[in-house]
Structure 1
Amino acid sequence: MARRRLPSMTHGNSSQSDRPRIISPLAPRADAAEVVRGVDLKGKTAVVTGGASGLGTETARALLLAGAHVILPVRDRAKGERVAAELRQSTGGTVELVDLDLGSLASVRRGAAEIRQLAPRIHILINNAGVMATPQSRTVDGFETQFGTNHLGHFLLTRELLPALMAAAPARVVALTSSGHRRSDIVWDDLNFERRPYDPWDAYGQSKTANALFAVGLTQRYADQGLTANAVHPGGIMTGLQKFVPLEDQRRMGWQDEHGTLNPVFKTPAEGASTSVWAATSPQLYGVGGLFLEDLQHSTPLDESAPNPLFGYKPYALDHESARRLWALSEALVGE
């Protein structure tokens, strides 16, 4: 059967602000199970990184409920087995595990090869895993940990899975970003903090900007072949991601009070997973890529004048020239 070509709107070469906004009919805090109600993913395969905890688990759960076959690349095999067993029991779905450490390019290549053996066709790839505000450190390949793990690991994984994604086209990739991208654009001449003082939040911000630019870059290159990507900010969710943020800092930033009560802006993991699942499955986003999505809608540029703005992206996170530059640089860094 000939591959179906997608409309020209998928090229990712027009400004996000020039497009009609896409908004889900669901409430912004609907949970992921609501998103897949009525969605049929039988016969389709999804890969979800970071599926052994938090958002990843709830993302996988929703896809399984819709009938997808789900593959979870995991760093901690024992933890992954426990989560996979619970997901199989609660959804009746098929879950497979693959050992993969995003902080090691060699591990990513090995894991991707195993995934391709398990699934010659991949319809959905959700690059969900990540680390946040880590102490200064390097991956085994010498990259700053957050940039190396959050961006380069996922960049290489996606590149290695391209044959399976293209074989399943139309296919979708979801790149998890964050409002933390506002802390930093890409610092092109010092990605690894070799000449500037290390700041864990600036490093996190740079990696999350890279995640958003990756979605733009992938769409630029492959949309007319049936492969699109969108960046998703899931919102604030208390998961294992915060393990490097001291409790006193969480209180100072207003994440929780002295009694451990979370700020009501925080979502549950199931609510946080909803925009990723919407990006991966909704007919509203068929053939659409290069967008920044949050709260089950197509986001808008950040209003810098708003007091404590919770919604919106900084335009540099979707800059087309930066996306092309980052793609080329990333290819060089991972040895492609």
Structure 2
Amino acid sequence: MPLARSAPDDRATWTAADVLAGHDLAGTNAIVTGASSGIGVEIARALAMAGAAVTLAVRDVAAGARVAEEIAAGGGVTPDVAEIDLLSLASVRAFAARWGDRPLRLLINNAGLMAPPLTRTADGFESQMAVNYFAPFLLSELLLPNLKAAAPARVVMVSSGSHHMATLRLDDLNYEHRAYDKFEAYGHAKLCANLLAVEYSRRHAGEGVTMIAVTPGGVSTNLGRHVTFEDAVRLGWVNPDGSLPRGNMKTLAQGAASPLWAALAPELAACGGAYVEDCAVAPVWTADLPAGWGVTAASLDRNDAARLWTVAEQMIAESKP
């Protein structure tokens, strides 16, 4: 299975079942955030069908319980359901405390927030940065002892090709001094997520824990509830006739494939900090590639990753009650 590719191929249509074929995950503990809808459900379903003990980390516990029942009815190991609100660092800390000392092999930071109006959390973070970056940062650090106990262990950051739209602004992570553009803010949060994977892996790979960033591709889920059709056309995500510039929208099962490949592919054991697209390590974008294809060089900048970590770590510490 190749690690990188420079053009689309049939791996873009792989499904969760294709990736999980042959995997026996009995005895594996896994957490999937945002697993009450969208690709999070499909990721959790595939892991449970392969025998993993999955915890659905969700804001809506009732919705999570319905998903757990559905997965169990389909023959998968019945998932646990646990509450977490990624708009609140107190909730993240409470979730990690309840997890206790159980080993954890897979942490899938899947939950996301895209393009809402400007809002701030009780911790003072812009909401997209809170859900897509600060909360996963804290959760991944708090659960590090659990991940080390199950090493080799892997953390997955579900990112987006929208990181191409942003430039890192360490001086204004929460849009306190510049105009807020909801789509640029989404891209900025995902750029930060990519850089988190780089620095987290640099710090923890020697302890047997790595982090991979991944785009699931274009999938129709409620993540896009704040995006109008006119927005999508303006950004080039869809054509005016409703067709897609880069082929068909992925199904939920196809959208879950790349995050699962990022979580499980043995080929990625020494690739902490990589960015995965279409079940392969993405090429660094250059002008001879289509717009939005691959990963930006800025997403892999080790110096920026270290600087961002330092700034964010301090901001999280200052938010602690």
TM-score (norm 1): 0.88
Which amino acid letter does the alignment assign opposite residue 330 of structure 1?
A
Please tell me the residue identity of whatever aligns with 2:145.
Answer: P
Name which of structure 1's ranges 259-268 and 47-56 shifts more when overlaid on structure 2. Answer: 259-268
Asked if 1:131 is matched to 2:138, the reply is: no
Deviates more, 1:204-213 or 1:320-329: 320-329
1:92 is displaced (CA, Å) by 2.7
Structure 2 partner of 1:79 = 63
Q: Which amino acid aligns with 1:223?
A: A
Deviations 1:233-254 (A, max 9, x none): 1111110110001233235546
* Deviation sequence 1:286-322 (CA, Å, 0-9, x none): 243111110011111112344x434211111111111
Secondary structure of 1:335's aligned partner: helix
Task: Return the alpha-carbon distance in structure 1 between the equivalents of residues 31 and 315 of structure 2.
Answer: 24
Cα deviation code 1:125-184 (max 9, x no counterpart): 011101001111101211111111110011111111111111111100111111100111
Equivalent position SS for 1:71: strand
2:154: which partner in 1? 172
Alignment partner for residue 100 of structure 2, among 104, 116, 121?
116
Q: Whole-Å Cα distance in 1 between the matches of residues 304 and 61 of structure 2?
A: 36
More off after superposition, 188-197 vs 161-170: 188-197
Q: Which amino acid aligns with 1:211?
A: A
Of 286, 308, 319, the residue aligned with 1:326 is: 308
Q: Any gaps of 5 or more consecutive residues in structure 2?
A: none
1:175-190 to 2 correspondence within 5 Å? 175-190=157-172
* Structure 2 residue 284 is the aligned partner of structure 1 residue 301: yes
1:33–1:65 Cα contact (<8 Å) kept: no
Deviation at 1:215, TM superposition (A): 0.7
Report the Cα distance in structure 1 between the residues aligned to 2:240 and 2:273, rounded to whole angstroms.
40
Are the equivalent residues in 1 in contact too, given 2:50–2:76 (CA < 8 A)?
Answer: no
User: Matched residues, percent identical?
Assistant: 44
Whether the 8 Å CA contact 1:116–1:161 is kept in 2: the answer is: no
AA in 1 matched with 2:153: A
Displacement after TM superposition at 1:70 (Å):
0.2
Corresponding letter in the other structure for 1:133: A
Shift of the alpha carbon at 1:116? 2.7
CA contact (8 A) 1:22 1:284 kept: no
For 1:1-336, list aligned pairs within 5 A: 21-22=3-4, 27-116=11-100, 120-253=102-235, 255=237, 264-306=247-289, 308-335=290-317
Return the TM-score normalized by structure 2.
Answer: 0.92
Find the aligned partners of 2:279 and 2:271 in 1 and give their Cα distance.
Answer: 15
What displacement does 1:258 show? 7.6
Deviates more, 1:165-174 or 1:77-86: 77-86
2:260 corresponds to which letter in structure 1?
Answer: V
Contact 2:114–2:186 under 8 Å retained in 1: yes
Counterpart-to-counterpart distance in 1, 2:123 and 2:252: 31
CA distance in structure 2 between the partners assigned to 1:53 and 1:100 by the alignment: 14
Q: Is the 8 A contact 1:173 1:229 kept in 2?
A: yes
1:78/1:300 Cα in 2 relative to 1: closer, same or farther (>3 Å)? same
CA RMSD between the two structures: 2.1
Offset from partner CA, 1:196-226 (integer Å, 9 cap, x none): 1110011111100111111111110010110
Alignment partners' CA distance in 2, 1:297 and 1:216:
17
Kindly indicate whether the alpha-carbon contact (under 8 Å) linking 2:45 and 2:76 is maintained by their aligned counterparts in 1. Answer: no
Structure 1 residues not aligned, in runs of 5+? 1-19
Change (3 A) 1:258 1:181: closer
SS in 2 for 1:229: strand
The CA deviation at 1:50 is 0.8
* Structure 1 residue 257 displacement after superposition: 6.8
8 Å CA contact 2:157–2:197 kept in 1: the answer is yes
The range that moved more, 138-147 or 257-266, is 257-266
Tell me the CA shift for residue 325 of structure 1.
Answer: 1.2
Distance 2:3 2:105 in 1: 25
* Maintained 8 Å contact 2:58/2:83: yes
Shift of 1:329: 1.5
Name the CA distance, whole Å, in 2 between partners of 1:38 and 1:95.
Answer: 21
Cα separation, partners in 2 of 1:33 and 1:99, compared to 1, 3 Å:
same
Q: Which region of structure 1 is more displaced relative to structure 2, 311-320 or 284-293? A: 284-293
Q: 2:294 and 2:243 mapped to 1: Cα distance?
A: 26
